[in-house]
Structure 1
C-alpha cells in the first residue's frame, strides 16, 4: 500500500528553464521550461504516468492505487487532475492514448459486463464522460488496446479463438467493421493518422501495414521501433551497451541517423522527437526530425527514466523514477520549425 499524502491541486510548479542554442541557421532559440505534474489529492505523484494528451492543455494517464496493485485512471484538464470515477468498474484499467478531440483509449476488463479489450472514453475533460466498447470481430478476442489516431481509428492486439494465435485488430472509421491483420510480420504497436499500422515481431524487425499490404522496414540489425507519425517511423539500435543510435525512417526502404540520438521514443505530427541523447541512459533531449535541438532540463538531482510523450502542441511529457511525471514546454518556436 502506498503512503497517502495530500497534494494541493493548484498550478503546476515551475522547476527550471534552459536555453538551447540554434541547432541550424534556420532554427530559432527555444527556452524549455520544466514543470512537475501534480497528482490527485491523496495519491503520490511518484506513482503517476502520463500516457495521452489532447495537445490543447489537457492530458490523461494513471496513478497507482493506494489500496491495491491496480492503476487508477486520471484526467488532467488544464493541469488539474481528477480521478475518472466513470472507469471505477474496471479491473486493471490502462489509459493507452488520447487524441486532439479529447477521446481517451482505455484497455481493461469491465467487471459489471465482463467485457474485455478496447474502450473509448469521451467527454471526460468537460464533465461526466461516456464509455463506448469496441466489440471484437466474430472468432477473435481482444487482449489489449495499443493506439488511437486523430480520426478515431483504434488499434489493438488479440488472438483467434480457434487456435489462440496472435492477430492485430483495427477499428477504422472508414470500414464497416473491425479489420483483422493476421501476418507473420508481427503485431500492431502504433497507428498513423492515415490508418497505416506499425508492426513489430519481437525480434527486432518492423513493417508497415497499409490497405492490406505489408512493407518491411529496412534495418541492418536488431531495432527497437517506438512509434510513427505522419509517415515517419522512429527507433534505435544498440551500438555497444549503453551506447545506441536512434534512427528516423521517412521511407521504409532507408533510415537516417538522428544527430546525437541515443533513443527516439515519441514523435508528433510536426516531427518533434523526444528521447535520450547519445545512449540509452543519456540525458533527456529533443530533436526536430534528425536535427538535435536541446537537452531538456530536469529538477536538481534527478535523472529522466524515459516514458516520453510528445503532443502536437509541442508539449513533452516524461518521468523521473521516484519523482513522477514532468511536463516540458517551449516558449520559442525553434522546437517546431
Structure 2
C-alpha cells in the first residue's frame, strides 16, 4: 500500500467529515520506534493489519524494517550485495514485502521478500525500478526510469506467478493494483488481468486502494476530487482538492488546492 496511507496510519490521523474539518482537525500520534542501535525511522507502506514497513538509519546507510503491531524488526540485507541501503516500500496482509536496493556502487534492483528470502525483480534494461504497491497474492506494481530524476517513467507489473518477468504498460505511473490484478495507471488507463483495458473519463486517477478509485479533474487550481466506480461512472465529486489516498470506507485523504477547511495543507473527507 502507498506511502501517504502509511503515514496516515503511523500518525493516527483523526478522520472527520469535510464540514467539521476546521473545528475538529486533530492528530493522535502512535510512535513507530526505531530498533535499538538505529535512528530516524520512516514509514513507507502498510497493509492495514498492524503491518508497517519503512527504513531506519544505521551509521551511513538505511536498512529496511517491518513493524508488527508497533514492534520493529530489521530486515536482513539482500545477500551478495555489499554496502548500500535497503528500502521496503509496500507490504501485503500476508507479510510479503516489496522494495528496492540501492548499492554504494550505484547498482539498483527491485525485490520481493517472503519467508526470509529475497527475489530479485528484473529491471527494464538498465533502468531503475521502484515498487509502489503489492496485492494479497504478491503481484507487485511499480515504475521504471532511466535514472532518478529522469523525465520518462514506465509502469511495470511483476506477476508473482511468473518470477523473472514483468509486464510493461508504457509511459505512465501505477496508481495501484488489486487482488484481481487489475492495475490503474496515472494516464487513466485501467488494465485487467487478461490484458484488456479501458480509459477512465472525466479526470485523472491519484489512488486506487481497497477497491476505491479516486482522482481529480481540472486544468488549474482549485481542482475537483472525483471518485469513480470500476465501471468508470462518477460516484461523487468534492470541490477544492487533490486526493492522495482512500480507504475501503470511502474516506479520502488529500490536499486542499484553494482555501476551504484546513489542517495545515491537508484534510480528510468522508461520506
TM range (shorter): 0.7 to 0.9
Aligned to 1:119: 65
In 1, the alpha carbon distance for the partners of 2:53 and 2:28 equals 18
In 2, the alpha carbon distance for the partners of 1:146 and 1:280 equals 31
Which structure's CA Rg is the greater one?
A: 1
For residues 45-89 of structure 1, give each alpha carbon's deviation from its aligned partner in whole angstroms, at most 9, with x where no partner exists. xxxx95328xxxxx424xxxxxxxxxxxx3447875125162495
- In structure 2, the gaps of 5 or more residues are 16-25, 146-151
**5 Å matches for 1:65-80?**
74-76=11-13
Q: Which has the higher contact order (CA 8 A, sep 6+)?
A: 1
Aligned to 1:33: none
SS state of the match for residue 6, structure 2? strand
SS state of the match for residue 210, structure 2? coil
For residues 224 and 183 of structure 1, do their structure 2 counterparts lie closer, same or farther at Cα, with a shift above 3 Å needed?
closer
Alignment counterpart, residue 168 of structure 1, candidates 107, 110, 114: 110
Aligned to 1:60: 9
SS state of the match for residue 60, structure 1? helix
In 1, the alpha carbon distance for the partners of 2:220 and 2:68 equals 36
Aligned to 1:5: none
In 2, the alpha carbon distance for the partners of 1:76 and 1:233 equals 27
**Bigger mean CA offset, 149-158 vs 164-173:** 164-173
Equivalenced residue count is: 236
Alignment counterpart, residue 189 of structure 1, candidates 132, 140, 154: 132
Aligned to 1:106: 54
Per-residue deviation, 1:200: 1.7
Aligned to 1:159: 102
- In structure 1, the gaps of 5 or more residues are 1-48, 54-58, 62-73, 124-128, 238-245, 298-302, 331-337
For residues 97-151 of structure 1, give each alpha carbon's deviation from its aligned partner in whole angstroms, at most 9, with x where no partner exists. 222312222223156xx7723211222xxxxx31111112222344322111121
Per-residue deviation, 1:234: 1.4
1:138 maps to 2:79: yes
RMSD (Å) for aligned C-alpha atoms:
3.0
TM-score (ref. length: structure 2): 0.74
Q: Please tell me whether the aligned partners of residues 47 and 93 of structure 2 are also in contact (alpha carbons under 8 angstroms).
A: yes
SS state of the match for residue 33, structure 2? helix
1:94 maps to 2:39: no
For residues 144 and 215 of structure 1, do their structure 2 counterparts lie closer, same or farther at Cα, with a shift above 3 Å needed?
closer
Per-residue deviation, 1:274: 1.2
TM-score (ref. length: structure 1): 0.61
Aligned to 1:235: 185
Q: Please tell me whether the aligned partners of residues 119 and 131 of structure 1 are also in contact (alpha carbons under 8 angstroms).
A: yes
SS state of the match for residue 51, structure 1? helix
Aligned to 1:198: 141
Aligned to 2:20: none
Per-residue deviation, 1:196: 0.9
Aligned to 1:277: 217
In 1, the alpha carbon distance for the partners of 2:173 and 2:61 equals 32
In 2, the alpha carbon distance for the partners of 1:205 and 1:252 equals 20
For residues 242-295 of structure 1, give each alpha carbon's deviation from its aligned partner in whole angstroms, at most 9, with x where no partner exists. xxxx2211137343111212x21211232x111112558531111112222111
For residues 286 and 280 of structure 1, do their structure 2 counterparts lie closer, same or farther at Cα, with a shift above 3 Å needed?
farther
Alignment counterpart, residue 84 of structure 1, candidates 27, 31, 47: 31
Per-residue deviation, 1:212: 1.0
